[in-house]
Chain A
Amino acid sequence: GEDVEQSLFLSVREGDSSVINCTYTDSSSTYLYWYKQEPGAGLQLLTYIFSNMDMKQDQRLTVLLNKKDKHLSLRIADTQTGDSAIYFCAEIIAFRLIFGQGTELSVKP
């Protein structure tokens, strides 16, 4: 079946690196995504990676993709209190996104 799994909570100290992990199911997914959702808000596209890539870096964000294990991770360097939010990974199957349940990142000063 289609299931994207994430751990539910992550707590880090300001200035540390955060690593949010995700496993997905469909090896034919062309793109994999990370979205950020702040309380009461919509989904903000943080980054996405094409399935033929292993890594993508964008400023403080690094995405690693392990296709063999169907594992995706998002590393946030120098985590700030403004990074506190829920982070969703998603895979695209045909025309639709399949989301995980979200990881709530709490950044403590």
Chain B
Amino acid sequence: DAGVTQSPTHLIKTRGQHVTLRCSPISGHKSVSWYQQVLGQGPQFIFQYYEKEERGRGNFPDRFSARQFPNYSSELNVNALLLGDSALYLCASRLNDRVIRTGELFFGEGSRLTVL
């Protein structure tokens, strides 16, 4: 079975541009979360989606938005990019339906964004 897949793996943007990052969760997983990992730090929570609804949002500006599609894949959008948005963006998926509760939370390899 495929794990969590993210695209693109690497990208370079300039300040003020917009970026869209994509994530496909593990088959059968309905919950997707996004994290930002700045170099040298632990990941920081951005969003969580479950059954296409936003269930949580971290302390990030409104330039950051996300959505989840009927097939449970997700997009993270960042507008008006700043130099400080340069980071590894990680997507995580979890089964977490109403019947099965599990602690297993799996991450993809991430999308490395460089803003020049």
Contact = CB atoms under 8 A, between A and B. Distances in A.
A64 to B, nearest CB: 17
Contacts, number: 59
B107 interface: yes
B64 interface: no
Interface in A61-93: 88, 90, 92
B42 A48 contact: no
A94 B94 CA distance: 14
Contact of A97 (B35, B50, B108): B35
A100 B40 CA distance: 11
A35 B107 contact: yes
B109 interface: yes
Instruction: Provide the main secondary structure of the chain B interface.
Output: strand
B104 interface: yes
Contacts of B15: none
Interface of B: 33, 35, 40-45, 48, 50, 55-56, 58, 88, 90, 92, 103-110
5 shortest interchain CB distances as A-B pairs: A99-B42, A31-B103, A42-B109, A96-B45, A43-B107
A55 interface: no
Contact of A48 (B48, B88, B103, B109): B103
Counting chain A CB atoms within 10 Å of each CB, the highest count among B88, B107, B108, B110 belongs to B107
Contact of B41 (A44, A95, A101): A101
Contacts of A50: 103
Contacts of A101: 40-42
A7 interface: no
A30 B43 contact: no
A50 B28 CA distance: 22
B90 A95 contact: no
Nearest to A101: B42
Given A45-B105, A96-B58, A97-B43, 20 more contacts: A33-B103, A42-B90, A42-B109, A43-B92, A43-B107, A45-B104, A45-B106, A45-B107, A48-B104, A48-B105, A50-B103, A88-B42, A92-B105, A94-B56, A95-B33, A95-B55, A96-B45, A97-B35, A99-B44, A102-B41
